[in-house]
Amino acid sequence: MKTMNTQKLPLPALRAFPAALLPLLLAASLHAQTVIDVPNGITNVTTNLTYDGSAGAQQLIIARGNTSSFLIGNSATLTISNHNNSNTPNYAGAIYVATKAKLTIAPQTSGGSGVAVFDNNTACFSISHGGGAINTSATSTLVVTNALFTNNAVALVGGAVLNTGTATVTSATFANNYANYAGALYNADKNASATLANVAFIDNRSAAGAGAV
């Protein structure tokens, strides 16, 4: 399979995180978010598609046992941005992959130019909250190819992705994500597995350690 060079992808403007970000995230815990189940099967993204939390879009959930895919056409972009979850029980910011579910986000064709952008998503409030962009449960599967994770943040662990299942991330850039620990990606269980290939980490930060992973 042809490998994309993600460092040539344009990055959205990076947001500076002030030192006071953590208490601000915790203070956001009164924010509630509704949820919607992603359909089982394939969603073909042939033109630009945006799920914008600031415009009232709902959090995306891959329900237990479902297999869902976003396959992105050439020159198209899937953008998932501005989601802030503090009270829904699944703890994810923008996307939650439930037990025994599988989510694939990738170009429609091998080596295609379709790209997914996860920008400015947050999850807050408790130790279970993590993965500003994506949170996966035990025995779930996540496959992401050709993606940008930028400006995502959580109060505690896994600024962009909190993985408790099996994750494979290929040709991706994690930039300017923040958590108290593991600013970009965090494996949350001893049985969790994350395979990374051609992944760039740029200026991810944490308060306690492991700025990237």
In tens, the pLDDT along 66-121 reads: 999 999 999 999 999 988 776 555 567 889 899 999 999 999 999 999 999 999 98
Neighbours of 139 (CB within 10 A): 15
Tokens of 124: 């807050």
User: According to the model, what pLDDT value does residue 65 have?
Assistant: 92
User: According to the model, what pLDDT value does residue 16 have?
Assistant: 46
Q: For the segment 19-60, what is each residue's pLDDT rounded down to a tens digit?
A: 444 443 443 444 445 667 788 899 999 999 998 888 765 688
* Gyration radius from the chain CA atoms: 15
C-alpha count within 13 angstroms, C-beta hemisphere, residue 134: 34
The residue type found at 86 is S
Q: What residues form DSSP beta bridges with 99? A: none
What burial class does residue 209 get, using C-beta atoms within 10 Å of its C-beta: 0-12 exposed, 13-18 middle, 19+ buried? Answer: exposed
The rounded distance, in Å, linking the Cα atoms of 122 and 187 is 18
Of 4-13, 92-101, 141-150, the least confident: 4-13
Domain boundaries, the chain: 21-209
